[in-house]
Amino acid sequence: MYDMQKELNEFYNDHVRLKDERKKLAEHRDANLVRLQDGLKELEYPSNFDSKDQGSYAMGTINKHPDKRYDIDEAIIFEKDDLPLEPADARKRIEEAMVKAGGNFSVPPKAKTNCVRISYEDGYYVDFAIYRKNVNAFGSSIIEHAGAEWLTRDPVAITNWFIDSIKVKSPSKAYGAIVENDQLRRIVRWLKMFAKSRESWNLPGGLIISTLAEERYVANANRDDASLYDTMVSMRDRLKNNKEICNPVDKSLSLTSRNKDKTRVKNLEEKLDFAINKLNPLFSLSCNRLEALQAWNWVFDHPYWVDEIEKEASKESNVKKNVSTIIVTPPKQHSNV
């Protein structure tokens, strides 16, 4: 397979991985936690709660977005007696408190089915998922999420599962790996970048992609590009036989129970198959850098690859031009003395 390790990681570091954006998300999170407490106090509701990062922010898999549509999921955990009995009323109280506290929002904070969303004009938004905790008759702590109904759910279980998987499955430099540590996280982020590469595509969200990628991940201690390709093939082959994807920390819960999720997973299988076929030239002995760039450009459809293609094509053109202008002069004829 033609080696594009260097280019893939340049793409990752400059165009996939968050830098300053992650800091700004944390600032929005912290400001809204203060607003929530202030609003609850003004309304004379119980204002003590714990908070935990969730989702792609906590997992470290948020990617750069051209329109800066970034989100952070935050679990807000109250004592059971400090929230209304009905989950919808609990979410509505948090909405009321956020509106009361005020802020520079593009739209007012809004209680949705699974969270309270706080949106900003710059495209950022914060989702507060509301939880209540209690101790059951056996003395065990129970945490429930305020969705359509109260459901028992550990707010950090999926984050812990993913972080543990990265540590266990990724090659380590401490054991001789050439690639950087945490390869699995990079693979997930490249796959999420692929899934969002075309606006017209209707593919699964981050949790389904992360779950499937973790399940079918093929580690490679020497090359990230080979790991990514092999993981894509493994995911495609798995989906050909089984499109059901379960919650990684509770196999009794399906992530693909809705018809729209089934459609998205089917679409993912098809797009992975197309991408794998487009990468076939990488396995030809005659493959050159320009052909390899063109193959990966189809996968990601990103200006980085277009720029590299143009530079490589220009370089090849100049080489050909220089070769064609070389004048071969015949050797001098020496007369006999």
CB atoms within 10 A of CB 248: 19
Q: What would the mean pLDDT of 188-208 be, rounded to a whole number?
A: 96
Residue ranges, CATH 3.30.460.90, the chain: 20-155
The yes-or-no verdict on residue 120 having pLDDT over 70 is yes
Output the average pLDDT for the chain: 92
CB atoms within 10 A of CB 164: 10
Could you say which architecture CATH assigns to the domain 20-155?
Answer: 2-Layer Sandwich (3.30)
Burial (0-12, 13-18, 19+ Cβ within 10 Å), 109: buried
Confidence of residue 67 (pLDDT cuts 50, 70, 90): confident
Statement: residue 140 has pLDDT above 90 = no
Q: Please say if the pLDDT value at position 39 is more than 80.
A: yes
Confidence (pLDDT) at 327: 46
| Residues near 37 by beta carbon (within 8 Å), at least 6 away in sequence | 47, 49
- Sequence letter at residue 151: L
Q: What is the pLDDT of residue 229?
A: 98
Q: Which long-range contacts (CB under 8 A, 24 or more apart) does 173-178 make?
A: 176/221, 177/221, 177/222, 178/221, 178/222, 178/223
Q: For 48-62, 127-141, 161-175, which range has the lowest pLDDT when averaged over its residues?
A: 127-141
pLDDT at 45 over 50: yes
22-36, 161-175, 184-198: least confidently modelled range = 22-36
Q: Supply the pLDDT for residue 87.
A: 97
| Range 222-227, long-range pairs (CB < 8 A, 24+ positions) | 222/177, 222/178, 222/179, 223/3, 223/5, 223/178, 223/179, 224/5, 224/8, 224/9, 224/179, 224/183, 224/186, 224/187, 225/1, 225/3, 225/4, 225/5, 225/8, 226/1, 227/179, 227/183, 227/187
**Which of 55-59, 181-185, 320-324 bottoms out in mean pLDDT, i.e. has the lowest?**
320-324
- CB neighbour class for 234 (10 Å; exposed up to 12, middle 13-18, buried from 19): middle
Regarding pTM above 0.85, the answer is: yes
| Nearest-angstrom CA–CA distance, 122 and 100 | 22
